[in-house]
């Protein structure tokens, strides 16, 4: 993950200005370590979600799923973001899902 994602967050609300990574509860500043820790935590939470599915009947349920999956890593998991952050995949491509979701809200 070292150079895979660069987050666009001009006010550094959700990203660390030094590392460029999302601010996380463990203060991880190495992208490879964050990827490993996040993947491990989310995998564990996915098992919980599989065992106790959340029926999606509105945007609040999407926030509930986000909180469940990312609560161990990010303090803002499951909350509406105050700024439109997105992942810069390379110089021309952006993760459009986050833009679309932000627009939807």
Domain boundaries of the chain, sorted by first residue? 6-104
Which residues, 6 or more positions from 78, have their beta carbon under 8 angstroms from its beta carbon? 63, 64, 66, 67, 68, 70, 71
Q: Which CATH architecture has domain 6-104?
A: Orthogonal Bundle (1.10)
- The stretch 12-27 carries a mean pLDDT of 91
Q: Output the pTM of the full model.
A: 0.76
Confidence of residue 85 (pLDDT cuts 50, 70, 90): low
With b meaning 16 or more CB within 10 Å and e meaning fewer, what string describes 94-104? eeeebeebeee
DSSP 3-47: TT-EEE-TT-SSB-TTT-SBP-TT----HHHHHHHHHHHHHHHHH
* pLDDT tens per residue across span 73-84: 999 999 988 776
Give the pLDDT score at 47. Answer: 95
For the chain, give the mean pLDDT: 80
Residue 2 pLDDT exceeds 60: no
């Amino acid at each position: 993950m070292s150079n895979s994602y660069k987050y666009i967050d001009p006010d550094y609300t959700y990203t660390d200005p030094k590392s460029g990574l999302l601010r996380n509860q463990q203060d991880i500043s190495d992208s490879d370590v964050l990827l490993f820790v996040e993947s491990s935590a989310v995998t564990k939470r996915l098992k919980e979600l599989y065992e106790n599915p959340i029926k999606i009947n509105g945007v609040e349920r999407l926030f509930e799923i986000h909180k469940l999956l990312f609560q161990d890593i990010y303090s803002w998991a499951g909350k509406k973001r105050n700024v439109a952050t997105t992942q810069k995949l390379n110089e021309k491509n952006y993760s459009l899902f986050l833009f679309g979701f932000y627009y939807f809200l």
